[in-house]
């Protein structure tokens, strides 16, 4: 999910990739990837949000580049991966396979898995499919893509942001407003740009205005972000991320032996704390860092501090307290 960036809290210095490339994963999709930091450092894979939000240069800066080998990539349909906004051949299971292809390309045996929002969803799905490849997890703004969470994302918004929800619903005819997800999904997937562009921009704006605890200046529309976010979020939510009922929590035993830090904004209205708490209670060895003055954004000061603290603790001790 998108992270518009206010004035940044302390992070590691801006860093350029050591190398980058494009990885074809099937006949349709090619993924952009990049590597930063120390080639002999602790391997870590960064999983961005959305789905569809793509990478930001700021994402490289949660990790001490002297000690980490950081692998980042744009997931199918996002960012610099091609084709942008493509929902064909785009499921959670295929994204998990992509992570394994990237790991093999990099010659990495095991790595730390770092993901926020939808990235936390994908991190858990990957870990449960390949626990032997994971050193541990740093997760933020937990999203398990259950029906309750999807309903909250769409209609729960009116409890805290009634004016934003009203604006989101306004373009939809009244007889379709009982199911805004399907109404938007139908328009977002339309072949006519005159239909899908207003829908993807409306969806992206609906989410973006609720990310931070405190309002941020609105950024100008971005075609890459709006199309990636609008198309892929609607696609995954309409299909409940291609999961069985509460699948990620039911299978948590596959990774429960691994260390995990969960960073959660107390006032996150995109992915409320209840889900992070459910995950923590199901994962006995996990540690929760509830940030008292934050919403959903990774770049909010308190969340950023906890994420950096987690990467620093893991590199020192390979565990979390």
One pLDDT digit (tens) per residue for the chain, 321 residues: 434 444 445 799 999 999 999 999 999 999 999 999 999 999 999 999 999 999 999 999 999 999 999 999 999 999 999 999 999 999 999 999 999 999 999 999 999 999 999 999 999 999 999 999 999 999 999 999 999 999 999 999 999 999 999 999 999 999 999 999 999 999 999 999 999 999 999 999 999 999 999 988 877 789 999 999 999 999 999 999 999 999 999 999 999 999 999 999 999 999 999 999 999 999 998 999 999 999 999 999 999 999 999 999 999 988 777
Instruction: Give strand pairing partners of 137.
Output: 113, 260
- Tell me the catalytic residues: 117, 268, 296
Pairing of strands 111-116, 68-73: unpaired
Token pair 């893509």 is at which residue?
145
CB-CB contact of 265 with 304 (8 Å): no
Considering the chain, tell me which residue range(s) the CATH 3.40.50.1820 domain(s) occupy.
Answer: 19-144+244-317
Whole-angstrom Cα distance, residue 185 to residue 111?
A: 35
Classify residue 260 as left (phi > 0), alpha (psi -120 to 50) or beta: beta
Whole-angstrom Cα distance, residue 4 to residue 170?
A: 24
Pairing of strands 42-47, 287-291: unpaired
Q: Could you tell me the pTM of the whole model?
A: 0.95
Of 3.40.50.360, 3.40.50.1780, 3.30.420.10, 3.40.50.1820, the CATH number of 19-144+244-317 is 3.40.50.1820
What's the token pair of residue 90?
Answer: 């785009």
Report helix, strand or coil for 246.
coil
Report helix, strand or coil for 30.
strand
Classify residue 145 as left (phi > 0), alpha (psi -120 to 50) or beta: left
């Amino acid at each position: 999910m998108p992270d518009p960036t206010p004035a940044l809290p302390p992070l590691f210095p801006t860093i350029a990739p050591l190398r980058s490339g494009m990885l074809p994963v099937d006949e349709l999709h090619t993924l952009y990837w990049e590597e930063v930091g120390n080639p002999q450092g602790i391997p870590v894979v960064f999983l961005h949000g959305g789905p569809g939000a793509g990478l930001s240069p700021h994402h490289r800066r949660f990790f001490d580049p002297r000690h980490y080998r950081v692998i980042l990539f744009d997931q199918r349909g996002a960012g610099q991966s091609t084709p942008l906004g493509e929902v064909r051949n785009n499921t959670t299971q295929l994204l998990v396979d992509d992570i394994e292809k990237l790991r093999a390309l990099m010659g990495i045996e095991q790595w730390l898995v770092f993901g926020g929002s939808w990235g936390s969803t994908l991190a858990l799905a990957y870990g449960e499919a390949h626990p032997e490849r994971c050193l541990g997890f740093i997760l933020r703004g937990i999203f398990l893509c259950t029906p309750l969470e999807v309903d909250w994302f769409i209609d729960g918004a009116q409890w805290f942001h009634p004016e934003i929800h009203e604006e989101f619903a306004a373009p939809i005819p009244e007889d379709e407003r009982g199911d805004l997800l399907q109404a938007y999904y139908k328009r977002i997937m339309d072949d006519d740009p005159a239909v899908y562009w207003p829908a993807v921009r409306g969806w992206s704006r609906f989410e973006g205005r609720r990310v931070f605890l405190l309002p941020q200046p609105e950024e100008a529309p971005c075609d890459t972000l709006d199309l990636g976010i609008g198309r892929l979020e609607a696609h995954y939510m309409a299909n409940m991320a291609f999961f069985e009922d509460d699948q990620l929590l039911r299978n948590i035993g596959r990774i429960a032996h691994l260390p995990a830090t969960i960073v959660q904004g107390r006032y996150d209205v995109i992915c409320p704390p209840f889900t992070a708490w459910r995950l923590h209670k199901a994962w006995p060895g996990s540690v929760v860092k509830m940030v008292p003055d934050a919403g959903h954004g990774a770049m909010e000061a308190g969340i950023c501090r906890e994420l950096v603290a987690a990467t620093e603790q893991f590199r020192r001790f390979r565990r979390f307290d």
